[in-house]
Structures are given as C-alpha cells and as structure tokens.
Amino acid sequence: MRKLLTTIVALCAIVAAYARPCTPTSTEAKSEVVVGCRDTAAYMSLLREQRVAVLANHTAMYSSEEHLVDMLHREGINLVGIFAPEHGFRGGVEAGALVEDGVDAKTGVAILSLYNGNTKRPSDAVMRSFDVLVVDMQDVGLRFYTYYISMLHMIDASADYGKRVVVLDRPNPNGHYVDGPILDMRYKSGVGHIPVPVVHGLTMGEIALMSIGEGWAKRANITVVRCGNYDHSTHYTLPIAPSPNLATQHSIYLYPSLCIFEGTVVSVGRGTEAPFEIYGHPAMRGRDFEFVPQPNAGAAKPPHSGVVCYGEDLRGVPAEEIWREGVNLEYVIDAYNDLNIGEKFFSPMFEKLIGVSWVREKIMEGYTAEEIKRLWADDVAKYMELRRKYLLYNE
C-alpha cells in the first residue's frame, strides 16, 4: 500500500509539473507576463535525448537577446530541423510570398519551409527524422493570421507519425474579446482553417487544444507550456513585430477590421510607413489624408503602387475605442459607399477573410455596421460557450 501511495504521489507531481503556469525567475517581476518558453523546467526533460524539430519564427525569443533555437542549441538539445511558416524563420518575407528552404547560419540546422507553395506538411523522410516537435510563434489572435494554420498542419502530421508536440504558449494581444462571423467552411482556405470567429480569443496553445478536441485537427500527443502572470483580460504588448506589415501594437489592434480591405479594391497602406493603420483609394476624393504606396521590404508590389490614394488615417484612434468596437465594418462601408462601384468593390478574397457570404450582401443592401454585427452576435455567444472548455487562462 505504501508503495502504491508513493507511486500515486509521484504521478500527481508529474501532472502538476505539466499543468502549472510558468514561474518567473528571480530576475523577472511577478507582475510581468512570462512566455511559455521561459518555463524550461516544464519541457526540457521532454527534449533531452530526443531528436527535436522546431516550428518557429523570429518571434520565438527566449530572452531579449537570445532566440529559442539558439538557447536549445546552447543547451545541447539535438536539433534536427527548423520548420518555417509564412514570413520565414527570420520573419522578413512579405505576406503571401513563398518561403525557401535553407540552413540557419547561426546553428547550421536545416530550415524547411511550410510556405513554399507546395508543402503543407513535410515528407515521410522528414517526419521520421525527429521525435518531438516544439512550436513557438507569436500569434495575434485572428482567424486569417496564418501561423496557427501551419501549427495545425504539423499537429496532423505529428499525429500520423506518433510524434510528441510541445507548444510553448504566448499571450494573444487581441485575446481579451471575441468578435466577427464564424467561418463557413465553404470558404476554408489558406487564410481561414477552422470554424471560429474572426477574432477567436485563444492563444496558440488553446487553439491547438480546441482543434484537437473538436476534431478539426488529429489527436496528437500534445503538451502546452502555459504563460505565467497572464489571463485574457491582459493587454499584452508584443516585444517584437510578428510580421513585416504589423509593425506597431496599434496596427495589431486595427488588423481585425482593416485586413478585410484586402478583399476589396482599397489599399490598406501596404507599401507605406503605416500598413493596417490607414486606408484609401485613388478615386476616394474629398479626403484630407493622402498617401502613395511604394514597393518596400514588406510589400514588393503594393496595391495602387506609385499612385496617390485618398482616405483615412486611423493612427490617432485610441486603443480603448478599437477594443470597444471590435470587428468594425464602418471603415469598409465608408469606402464602399464613397467609391459607389457596387460588386466591383469586392474580390473573392473578401469571403475568405470575413468567412461568410452574407456580409457582402448586407453591405450592398445598405445595412449599417452595427446592424451587421447584430447578425453574428448569436453565433459569437455560442462560440464563447465552446471556447470556455479549452481556456488555459481566466477570462
């Protein structure tokens, strides 16, 4: 009996170690958010004596000076491959552009692209080359932001090959609310993979657990290393830009509303100093604000390149107002009414981004942004109940 009790206590200790939030080190203030990768005690034992692959990008910083991959390499972990999502391992590739395979110059580890136009999952040989997959990427909490899709593809592949998956969680900067229509799976695409609202209110760890639990991803052996000092009411400021055209925290807040413009004829500021903080079009006259998109590192061929666009500058909108409005269709409706070109205003990408067919229809019928928002409110309420099953952090 004593031996049995000792075994039970040991097992409880193991479960507690996996479930606990990460604990700040003595040099980290207790009030500061601590990202999952900092809790090395929760996952390093899963990596030692294993062949380890990493799905990560430039945001996977272990500290302000050291990347996760560099830390693992320094600690003697057997790194056999790095999987790169959209924007590449080092984060400099523009949205939608193909990411090439390569070799990480610092560690000599092979980089394998998951965004090269062909590969949604690695080959059989690559999948057999590792034992554990570590995932660490900073998401922004939007259904059309593609990092979670790369993770879910790799979860499916890992399930097929019996590989362990360790997700090192990070806070969601838009995790304090949920809004927008739920994806109609007829519009499933590379910018929308699972039936959740535009703003889903989940961290990467939570979205992995929900996808597995709801059958949207295969049942892999998964461990999520939680953040410390974080809940969904935390307004977390990202220490590093997650992609080339989300250069500011303010743009991340506006992104749920302004990215929808990418399914229209309107520029959302790619090729300027303020992408996703401004919008405009050459034919939108009578506006005080103007800008000229030009090719730059984040946009090789921006819409309306070299042409003066007239529109709106939203850089002065307070963050609190953006949070209160949520997914705000007023901007799209403003531009639609101004240009007065009917169906030509939209492209097929609009449905892939907003996720349903009826929003376009309601805009063309003259519905206001508030009237349209009320039409998706019931679906959001039902989703909120589902979401609670998978939350790792308090709301």
Considering the domain architecture, whether residues 71 and 179 belong to the same structural domain is answered as yes
Residue 21 domain-assigned (yes or no): no
Could you tell me which residues come within 8 angstroms of residue 308 by beta carbon, excluding any fewer than 6 positions away? 282, 290, 291, 292
Of the residues 203, 222, 240, the one at which a domain ends: 240
Long-range contacts of 281-290 (CB under 8 A, 24+ apart): 281/309, 281/310, 281/311, 281/335, 281/338, 281/339, 282/307, 282/308, 282/309, 282/310, 283/310, 283/339, 284/309, 284/310, 284/311, 284/335, 284/338, 284/339, 285/310, 286/310, 287/311, 287/312, 289/313
Average pLDDT over residues 197-220: 98
Q: Is the pLDDT of residue 10 over 60?
A: no
- CATH number for the domain harbouring residue 83: 3.40.50.12170
pLDDT at 197 over 90: yes
Span 183-209, average pLDDT: 98
Last residue of a domain, one of 221, 240, 259: 240
Residue 193 pLDDT? 97
| pLDDT score at 101 | 77
pLDDT above 50: residue 165:
yes
Q: Which domain covers residue 261, as residue numbers?
A: 249-382
Q: Please check whether residue 9 lies inside any domain of the structure.
A: no
Q: Which residue type, as a one-letter code, is found at position 46?
A: L
Q: Which of 212, 240, 268 is the C-terminal boundary of a domain? A: 240
pLDDT at 245 over 60: yes
Pick the residue with more confidence: 93 or 349? 349
The number of distinct structural domains making up the chain is 2
> Where is pLDDT greater, at 206 or 9?
206
Integer CA distances (angstroms), 157 to 27, 79, 130, 207, in order: 38, 18, 12, 17
Distance CA 243, CA 134 (A): 20
Give residue 98's pLDDT band: very low, low, confident or very high (50, 70, 90).
Answer: low
Residue 8 pLDDT > 90, yes or no? no
In angstroms, the CA 71 to CA 168 distance is: 14
Is the pLDDT assigned to residue 318 strictly greater than 70? Answer: yes
Query: Looking at the predicted structure, is the pLDDT value of residue 135 above 70?
Result: yes
Residues 187 and 356 sit within 8 Å (Cβ to Cβ):
yes
In tens, the pLDDT along 360-374 reads 999 999 999 999 999
Residue 153 has pLDDT above 70, yes or no: yes
The separation between CA 347 and the C-alpha centre of its own chain, rounded to angstroms, equals 23
Please check whether residues 48 and 128 belong to one and the same domain.
yes
Task: Name the pLDDT band for 1 (thresholds 50, 70, 90).
Answer: very low
The 3-state DSSP class for residue 41 equals helix
pLDDT in tens, 218-237: 999 999 999 999 999 999 99
Per DSSP, the three-state class of 82 is strand
The sheet carrying 164-168 orders its strands as 102-103, 110-113, 78-84, 51-56, 132-136, 164-168, 221-225
Q: In terms of domains, do 187 and 257 share one?
A: no
Residue 331 is given by DSSP the state: H
77 and 154 both lie in a single domain: yes
Q: Which pLDDT score, from 0 to 100, does residue 30 have?
A: 45
- Whether residues 279 and 229 fall in one domain: no
**161, 52: one domain:** yes
pTM (2 d.p.): 0.89
Q: What is the CATH number of the domain that holds 350?
A: 3.90.1150
Give the lowest-confidence range in 57-66, 74-83, 84-93, 102-111.
Answer: 84-93
Tell me the pLDDT band of 15, cut-offs 50, 70 and 90. very low
Confidence of residue 115 (pLDDT cuts 50, 70, 90): low
Tell me, yes or no, whether 18 lies in a domain: no
> What is the secondary structure of 130-185 as a DSSP string?
-SEEEEE----SBTT-THHHHHHHHHHHHHHHT-EEEEE----TTTT--BSPPPPG
Q: Are residues 159 and 287 in the same domain?
A: no
Residue at 363 is within a domain? yes
Domain-embedded: residue 3 = no
Helix axes 330-339, 249-258, angle to 10 degrees: 60
Whether residue 117 is contained in a domain is answered as: yes
Question: 190 pLDDT exceeds 70?
Answer: yes
* pLDDT for 382 beyond 60: yes
Q: Is residue 115 part of a domain?
A: yes
Do 234 and 256 fall within a single domain?
A: no
Q: Give the per-residue pLDDT at 297.
A: 87
Pair (87, 176) in one structural domain: yes
Looking at per-residue confidence, does 120 or 127 come out higher? 127
| 69 and 155 share one domain | yes
Least confident of 99-113, 155-169, 207-221, 269-283: 99-113
pLDDT at 92: 47
Same domain, 111 and 259: no
Per-chain mean pLDDT for the chain:
90
- How many percent of the chain have pLDDT more than 90? 81
The answer as to whether 56 is a domain residue is yes
C-alpha 19, offset from chain centre: 23
Same domain for 235 and 321: no
Q: How confident is the model at residue 117 (pLDDT cuts 50, 70, 90)?
A: low
In eight-state DSSP terms, residue 100 is: -
Which of the pair, 340 or 96, is modelled with greater confidence?
340
> With 70 as the cut, is the pLDDT of residue 4 above it?
no
pLDDT for residue 361: 98
